[in-house]
Amino acid sequence: MFEDKSIGLVLSGGGVRGMAHIGLIKAMREHHIEAKVVAGTSIGALVGALYANGHAVEDMLKFFKETPLFQYSFFTIIKPGFIDTERYVDIFKKFFPNNSFESLDKPLYVVATDLLSGKEKVFDKGELIKPLLASAALPPVFSPVEINDVLYADGGIMNNFPIEYVKDKSEFIIGSNVSVTVPLKKKELRNSFQLTARVTSLMIHASNDEKLHQCDLFIEPKELDSIGVLDKKGIENAFNIGYEYGSKALEKMLSKM
């Protein structure tokens, strides 16, 4: 079935929980399923770029395990944000030495937010690394990234599940959403930070939900809710959850054919 179809892969934002995307990719490869076009936001853009560049699953995990989230020398007081996002350029060059969309094995669409115009921006040509950094620059932790005199930040602000960019290029769409929400107890909303996090999560989920169900196959593992967005200790757990969900979803679908 899949040999003759053009498959699109859509990967959401969601921080460390995005390691579940890599688990799904492992399951896809075990079932000899390869996407021909990829779209991603934030962590989904980073995983999508590694996948589009032909990296093995082990190398993808290595990238996230070895890239520091909070390195003292990266902290800044001269930019908006606690960490200077552009300090990661040299680290990214080790994995993307050609630093261009054109050098990738598959077409890739990366979504970021133009903070000046307040509009969504999709990158798919030219320089690769800065758009990737911009797409994953979660305010206020990471500073915006300047590209052609414009400041860009996390793509999830405007579009956390960019299915639009693969729709007309795919006959079958596989999606992975790691920005999950689960019911809370009243005691879990005791301060302004918890309230802000909850409201943001619900807004993102509402915008994701309809588009997620436009996929022909998707995973949305609720167990990811227990993993902190910036908790690197959750990398292996999120990866295993994604692999388990991806394997089950693919096996269920293939069993019906």
- Kindly write down the DSSP assignment for every residue of 84-141, as one continuous string: -GGGGHHHHHTT-TT-BGGGSSS-EEEEEEETTTTEEEEE-SSB-HHHHHHHT--TTT
Given the residues 143, 154, 170, 247, select the one marked as catalytic: 154
For the chain, the distance separating the N- and C-terminal CA atoms, rounded to the nearest angstrom, is 9
Given the residues 42, 135, 143, 176, select the one marked as catalytic: 42
Please confirm, yes or no, whether 154 is among the known catalytic residues.
yes
Interatomic CA distance for residues 104 and 4, integer angstroms:
22
Compute the C-alpha angle 240/245/251, nearest 5°: 125
Quick check: 104 and 52 in contact, CB under 8 A? yes
Name the DSSP letter for residue 31. T
Please confirm, yes or no, whether 231 is among the known catalytic residues.
no
Indicate which residues carry an active-site annotation: 42, 154
